[in-house]
């Protein structure tokens, strides 16, 4: 009797989900809804927010799954990592397979990337770089949405930018991407109203792909998601 096995890399599905959700938001924000008002416009805005939120969640899931899948492959000495030095892979496997809280599996996402590069004798990401800071911010944004805590934020007159009594993410994210078309000309708070639009989702996915691409370049292994890569 023959036994067949299959291995699934769900990071690829997370990436595809990000693209598909992003396209749905793009279709909404670039459509002509000037004649909509009231409940109809509010419903369209809510749909857009759902797509943007899902895209951000899937984007971070892509980053997290990518490093976990690689570390799992190293632990199992998969063919995908056969070009990596054996001694270095053993050091990673030993840390990944630990059963206590010191296991690499339990480390934060960015620490996993940095420690993997260190154990492979590769140059780590510059934590002061714009790319690394953007990924850190993206993770913070996802965590804020996932563990959301409502708070009171000031509403101002349209076109007036005031930072008093605004969410802590405002000063970190403002200016990094185009604002949601539904709120950019209003006095609503930056977060979540103006922030959570197509521009934010594009910014998130672009930075995520650049980050993971650069990681694979550093360790000398081809990415496994080129077949779902699209031009943003």
pLDDT at 30: 95
For the record, the structure tokens of 228 come out as 């779902």
Residue length, the chain? 232
d(CA 105, CA 116): 11
Q: Are 42 and 60 in contact (CB under 8 A)?
A: no
Q: Measured in whole angstroms, how far is the alpha carbon of residue 84 from the centre of its chain? A: 27
d(CA 95, CA 92): 5
pLDDT at 163: 56
Rounded to two decimals, what is the model's pTM?
Answer: 0.92
pLDDT in tens, 149-207: 988 887 776 555 555 678 889 999 999 999 999 999 888 999 999 999 999 999 999 99
For the record, the structure tokens of 146 come out as 């996932």
d(CA 155, CA 158): 9
pLDDT in tens, 21-59: 999 999 999 998 888 889 999 999 999 999 999 999 999
DSSP assignments along 64-100, one per residue: HHHHHHHHHHHHTT-GGGTTS-HHHHHHHHHHHS--S
For the record, the structure tokens of 75 come out as 């632990």
pLDDT at 31: 92
Q: Name the percent of the chain lying above pLDDT 90.
A: 74
CA distance to 25, 72, 140, 141, 150, per residue, from 145 (Å):
18, 28, 9, 6, 10
pLDDT at 232: 67
């Amino acid at each position: 009797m023959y036994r067949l096995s299959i291995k699934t890399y769900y990071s690829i599905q997370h990436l595809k989900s990000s693209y598909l959700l992003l396209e749905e938001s793009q279709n909404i924000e670039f459509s002509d809804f000037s004649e909509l008002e009231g409940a109809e416009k509010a419903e369209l805005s809510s749909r857009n927010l759902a797509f943007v939120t899902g895209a951000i969640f899937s984007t971070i899931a892509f980053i997290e799954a990518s490093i976990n899948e690689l570390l799992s492959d190293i632990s199992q000495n998969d063919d995908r990592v056969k070009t990596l030095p054996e001694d270095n892979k053993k050091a990673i496997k030993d840390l990944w397979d630990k059963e206590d809280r010191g296991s690499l599996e339990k480390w934060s996402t960015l620490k996993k990337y940095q420690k993997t590069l260190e154990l492979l004798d590769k140059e780590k990401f510059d934590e002061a770089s714009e790319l690394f800071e953007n990924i850190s911010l993206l993770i913070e944004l996802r965590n804020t949405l996932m563990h959301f805590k409502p708070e009171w934020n000031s509403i101002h007159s349209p076109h007036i930018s005031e930072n008093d009594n605004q969410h802590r993410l405002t000063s970190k994210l403002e200016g990094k991407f185009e604002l949601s078309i539904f709120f950019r000309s209003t006095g609503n708070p930056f977060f979540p109203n103006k922030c959570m639009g197509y521009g934010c989702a594009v910014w998130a996915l672009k930075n995520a792909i650049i980050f993971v691409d650069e990681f694979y370049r550093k360790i000398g292994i081809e990415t496994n998601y080129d077949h779902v890569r699209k031009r943003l």
